[in-house]
């Protein structure tokens, strides 16, 4: 059996579960929360998977082994785990459901290990259980607070983590697959690993600025323009010091304008309850 099939099956099952959750709940909060929790999972992966080199995936889809490894992690940390947490949180499911999902993930991990599409370096299977249990508990609290309150700092950080999922994933595609934007901080000997870390760190900073502008100064063209100009100055400095390679000097300013514009519109149009100072509306 080709290595990519277990990852494809996991992805399809996860997306079907997400679709079912939205169909039953009829609220876009399901997608907002899923993206937010995925962003938090990305930070977990940055520390455990990329910086500490805990395990390795082998979907054998991309020719570059490290990027193939990262692609494998996306099926788990962007889809499977966050969607399972979203499902239990949206339906406010009790402990036995959490234990069922944790047990299922442990079986999937054992299956992947048996197939040879995944391997541990220093990671142990019981570590997975140790981190999954509080993740499901956190998800229930997080979802409930998002659903019940109008404007809290939690909404800002949820927006930040949701954008992290979108922005860093797009940035990885631009870097790893299209080679349009590459950020190399020279922290690791492995160039591909260095590019992933550089991209995540820089675009996390970029996403923080996006989130501040969208949440606190939505539709304010002065702050939007100032943010793009500020980032352009930083990027010119990075280019001059050979930290950043970009296909065309204006590519990233255009990228920032598009991401700010689209993200701001979606947030304002479909999540008005989360905008500071606005009254709650139906989304």
pLDDT tens over the chain, length 283 residues: 899 999 999 999 999 999 999 999 988 899 999 999 999 999 999 999 999 999 999 999 999 999 999 999 998 889 999 999 999 999 999 889 999 999 999 999 999 999 999 999 999 999 999 999 999 999 999 998 888 766 678 888 999 999 999 999 999 999 988 999 999 999 998 999 999 999 999 999 999 999 999 988 887 899 999 999 999 999 999 999 999 999 888 899 999 999 999 998 888 776 655 444 343 443 3
pLDDT of residue 276: 41
Residues 89 and 59 in one domain: yes
Domain that holds residue 22: 4-148
Where does a domain end: 104, 133, 148? Answer: 148
Where does a domain end: 148, 165, 199? Answer: 148
**Distance (Å, whole) CA 84 – CA 139:** 10
- DSSP for 48-67 reads IIIIS--EEE----SSSHHH
Where does a domain end: 99, 117, 148? Answer: 148
pLDDT of residue 151: 61
Residues 8 and 143 in one domain: yes
Residues 215 and 266 in one domain: yes
Please check whether residue 32 lies inside any domain of the structure.
Answer: yes
pLDDT of residue 91: 96
pLDDT of residue 282: 39
pLDDT of residue 278: 41
- DSSP for 58-110 reads ----SSSHHHHHHHHHHIIIIIIHHHHHHHHHHTT--HHHHHHHHHHHHHHHH
- Angle CA(196)–CA(137)–CA(215) in degrees, nearest 5? 60
Q: Quote the number of domains for the chain.
A: 2
Residues 199 and 139 in one domain: no
Residues 106 and 210 in one domain: no
Residues 35 and 127 in one domain: yes
Distances (CA, A) of 20 to 55, 96, 148, 204: 31, 20, 22, 31
Ramachandran category for residue 111: left, alpha or beta (phi over 0 → left; psi -120 to 50 → alpha): alpha
Residues 132 and 207 in one domain: no
Please check whether residue 281 lies inside any domain of the structure.
Answer: no
Residues 127 and 248 in one domain: no
181 forms bridges with which residues in the sheet? 246
The count of residues in the chain is 283
Please check whether residue 29 lies inside any domain of the structure.
Answer: yes
């Amino acid at each position: 059996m080709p290595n990519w099939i277990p990852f494809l099956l996991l992805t399809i099952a996860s997306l079907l579960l997400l679709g079912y959750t939205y169909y039953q709940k009829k609220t876009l909060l399901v997608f907002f929360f899923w993206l937010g929790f995925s962003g938090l999972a990305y930070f977990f992966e940055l520390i455990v998977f990329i910086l500490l080199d805990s395990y390795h995936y082998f979907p054998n889809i991309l020719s570059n082994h490290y990027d193939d490894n990262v692609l494998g992690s996306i099926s788990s940390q962007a889809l499977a785990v966050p969607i399972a947490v979203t499902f239990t949180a949206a339906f406010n499911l009790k402990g036995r459901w959490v234990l069922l999902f944790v047990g299922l993930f442990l079986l999937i991990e054992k299956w992947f290990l048996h197939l040879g599409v995944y391997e541990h370096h220093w990671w142990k299977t019981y570590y997975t259980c140790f981190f999954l249990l509080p993740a499901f508990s956190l998800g229930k609290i997080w979802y409930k607070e998002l659903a019940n309150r109008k404007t809290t700092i939690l909404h800002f950080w949820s927006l930040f983590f949701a954008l992290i999922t979108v922005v860093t994933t797009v940035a990885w595609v631009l870097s790893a697959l299209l080679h349009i934007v590459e950020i190399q901080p020279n922290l690791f000997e492995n160039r591909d690993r260095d590019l992933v870390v550089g991209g995540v760190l820089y675009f996390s900073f970029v996403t923080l600025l996006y989130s501040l502008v969208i949440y606190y100064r939505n539709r304010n063209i002065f702050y939007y323009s100032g943010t793009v100009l500020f980032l352009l100055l930083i990027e010119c400095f990075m280019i001059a010091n050979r930290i950043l390679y970009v296909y065309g000097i204006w590519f990233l300013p255009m990228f920032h304008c598009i991401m700010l514009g689209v993200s701001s519109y979606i947030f304002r149009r479909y999540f008005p309850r989360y905008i500071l100072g606005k009254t709650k509306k139906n989304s």
